[in-house]
Amino acid sequence: MITRYIKYALSVASVMLFSSCSSSFVGIGMVGVIALFVLMFILFALMFYLIARRKKQGEKSLVKFNNDVYLALNKLGTSQQKINMLNNLIERINTDEKYKKDPEWRDKVLLKTYLHLATVYYQEGDEIQTLNASSKIIELDPNDGMAYYNRGSIYSNMGLYEKALHDLNRTVELMPDYASAYNNRGLVHEKMEHYEEALSDFDKAIELESSPFAYYNRGNTHYEQSEYELALKDYESTLNVLDSQSESSFRQEVEVSIKAAKEKMAKEY
């Protein structure tokens, strides 16, 4: 209602101003013209204030919606119940006339819902549905780096390396300090036999986080290139940065790789 009055006042002021200009300011004078400019400035400022306030209120509503969905999901016992609830919610949002009148707001609410859905599918181990949900998130928000990361990682697991590389490239663009993105992209490069690119990505991942997995993956890449001394160094670094809580199976895998690298080095000498 207030915005409507502001628009009306602006239109009246504009008519008065331009009418006065066309008649060489007759009947209004320079003081009147200045007053009209001041009035228009005040009205514009008020309009922008109201828009900013509405946006802030919208952000609060979105936070509340997200929290309500989270609490509702926690009350459900099984993953399938959570999936059913979220899919029903998505259908309701898409068919509700109120949301159709404000597509921008509808998409923001849908985005939050799909983020929850992707999380449930991921926890359930359903890669295909996680991929589909991630694609929907990207459609709603092309700048969601984690959605690209998740989808790219799944593409990599499926052996779709070109698609994986595309998504992980986008992740790095959007999240240049995310070490796991470089590590996963390095794995894709290694599978595609882009060894130099793989090593560069593992170097960056280690620089950002010093992850044992990045050391191990870099060691494997050196091993593939028959650089056994460098591979051994990385395998040993992997053990050095592993903490006591790490899975014993991974530690055993690293120890097997160390043994293999040493055997290869022995044969060379």
Taking only the tens place, the pLDDT of each residue in 188-220 is 999 999 999 999 999 999 999 999 999 999 999
H and E: helices and strands count for the chain: 13, 0
Angle subtended by helix axes 127-140 and 145-157, to nearest 10? 150
Lowest mean pLDDT among 2-11, 39-48, 221-230: 2-11
Instruction: Please state the separation of Cα 38 from the chain's center in Å.
Output: 44
Task: Return the CA Rg of the chain.
Answer: 29
212: tokens are 């044992």
Lowest mean pLDDT among 57-61, 133-137, 169-173: 57-61
Q: For 124-143, what is the mean pLDDT?
A: 97
| pLDDT band with cut points at 50, 70 and 90 for residue 178 | very high
CA distances from 206 to 10, 15, 51, 189, 199 (A): 59, 65, 45, 16, 10
User: Is residue 141 left, alpha or beta, with left meaning phi > 0 and alpha meaning psi from -120 to 50?
Assistant: beta
Assess contact for 218 and 206: CB atoms under 8 A. yes
What is the C-alpha to C-alpha distance for residues 193 and 88, in angstroms, rounded to an integer?
A: 44
Residues 6+ apart with CB under 8 A from 252: none
46: tokens are 């008020």
User: Is residue 226 left, alpha or beta, with left meaning phi > 0 and alpha meaning psi from -120 to 50?
Assistant: left
| pLDDT score, position 248 | 84
Q: Of 239, 195, 201, 185, which Cα lies nearest the Cα of 220?
A: 195
Burial class (CB in 10 A: 0-12, 13-18, 19+), 97: exposed
What is the C-alpha to C-alpha distance for residues 172 and 179, in angstroms, rounded to an integer?
A: 9
Assess contact for 184 and 206: CB atoms under 8 A. no
What is the C-alpha to C-alpha distance for residues 191 and 217, in angstroms, rounded to an integer?
A: 11
What is the C-alpha to C-alpha distance for residues 47 and 40, in angstroms, rounded to an integer?
A: 10
| pLDDT score, position 37 | 64
What is the C-alpha to C-alpha distance for residues 143 and 66, in angstroms, rounded to an integer?
A: 19
Assess contact for 165 and 188: CB atoms under 8 A. yes
Q: Which residue has the tokens 């209120």?
A: 57
| pLDDT band with cut points at 50, 70 and 90 for residue 127 | very high
Quote the mean pLDDT of the chain.
Answer: 85
Residue type, 3: T
pTM: 0.77
Q: Of 151, 156, 227, 166, which Cα lies nearest the Cα of 196?
A: 227
CA distances from 97 to 60, 94, 106 (A): 22, 8, 10
